[in-house]
Amino acid sequence: MSAYAWMWVAIVAAGLLSWATKLAGHSVPEAWLENPRVHRIAAFVTVALLSALVAVQTFASGGGLTVDARLAAVAVAAALLWRRAPFIVVVAAAAAVAAGLRALGWG
């Protein structure tokens, strides 16, 4: 089988897997979903996935780890969020820090 055919097999398989996952979600009894433990775990999973996404986008470059202006920008954003700054201020300050450090040649 050619590489082109295998690509289409993978696309169809991914679509079927996505459909089966959605069907499984609709098949779960509602009583299971109303359990407080499920709500607590769902909240933790959301935070964990978002934290992992931030970590990968901050430290990953190509195949390795890197420290550059992104790390400083995330640190500034975390400090401002800790101080309960408005979200637009957090975003603007982090962008300004990253841009400033990159303009100075770091990162």
Angle at 67 between CA 60 and CA 102, to 5 degrees: 105
Locate the domains of the chain by residue range: 67-107
Give the CA radius of gyration of the chain: 21
Read off the pLDDT of residues 44-103 as tens digits, 9 standing for 90 and up.
Answer: 999 999 999 998 988 888 878 888 899 999 999 999 999 999 999 999 999 999 999 999
